[in-house]
Amino acid sequence: MGRKGVVVFVVVAALMGLLSGCGGGDEAAETSDTLSKAAFVKQANAICKKTKDEVTTGTVSEVRKLAKNPEAREDLEFKIVSSVLVPSLEHQVQQLKALGTPPGDAGQIEKMLKLVEGAVAEAKTEPETYVSGDDYRWGSEHFGKAHKLALEYGIENCPVSE
C-alpha cells in the first residue's frame, strides 16, 4: 500500500474508531419497563450503524480526493471532526441513554458511555488526535476501550474499521 493508501486508511480507521464506543443508559433508567438485553443490543446496533453512516457518508470520499494535498486534507479532517464527528457522537450518546438499560446491566453500559463521552470531550479539545497530521495518535484510547466493552456486551455494529 502506498503512502496515499496508508493516509486514507489511517483517516478512515480513526473515524471508524470514533464510532466504536456504543452503549448508553444509567442507573436511574433501569426500571421494570426497560428493554431486554437482546432488544437493547439490537437497538444500540441500529443507532451505532446510523451514526457510522452519518460520519462516513461523503467524508471518506472527500478525504480521499485530497490525499495528494496533505494540507488541504488535514484542514478538511479538522472540519469533519468538529462539524460531523462530534455532533454525531453526541447525538448517538443521547439516543443510547434514552434506551435505558437492561436490568442488572447499568454499570457496564454506564462505563461504555463514560468512555465515549471522554473521547468526545477529547475530540473537542484535542482534535489533532483524530487527524492524520504529525500529532496523529490513531484516535482516542477511550474509544478502543469502549469498543472492547461493547463487543463483550454483544454490541457488534460499532466496528473500529470496515
Is residue 14 domain-resident?
yes
Rounded to an integer, the average pLDDT of 139-143 is: 69
Is residue 160 domain-resident?
no
Which of 155, 149, 148, 82 shows the shortest CA–CA distance to 121?
Answer: 82
Structural domain count of the chain:
1
Q: Which residues contact 100 (CB under 8 A, 6 or more apart)?
A: 25, 29, 30, 31, 33, 34, 35, 40
Helix (H) or strand (E) holding 5: helix 3-18
Grid cell digits, residue 3 = 503512502
Q: Is the pLDDT of residue 18 over 60?
A: no
Average model confidence (pLDDT) for the chain? Answer: 75
pLDDT tier, 14 (very low <50, low <70, confident <90, very high otherwise): very low
Is the pTM higher than 0.75?
A: no
List Cα–Cα distances, 9 to 46, 82, 103, 130, 160, in angstroms: 24, 20, 39, 13, 12
Grid cell digits, residue 75 = 484542514
pLDDT tier, 33 (very low <50, low <70, confident <90, very high otherwise): low
Is residue 140 domain-resident?
yes
List Cα–Cα distances, 84 to 39, 68, 79, 96, 160, in angstroms: 28, 23, 8, 18, 17
Residue type, 86: V
Is residue 89 domain-resident?
yes
Rounded to an integer, the average pLDDT of 30-58 is: 83
Which residue range(s) make up the domain with 79?
3-21+35-153
Q: What percent of the chain has pLDDT over 70?
A: 70
Q: Is the pLDDT of residue 154 over 80?
A: yes
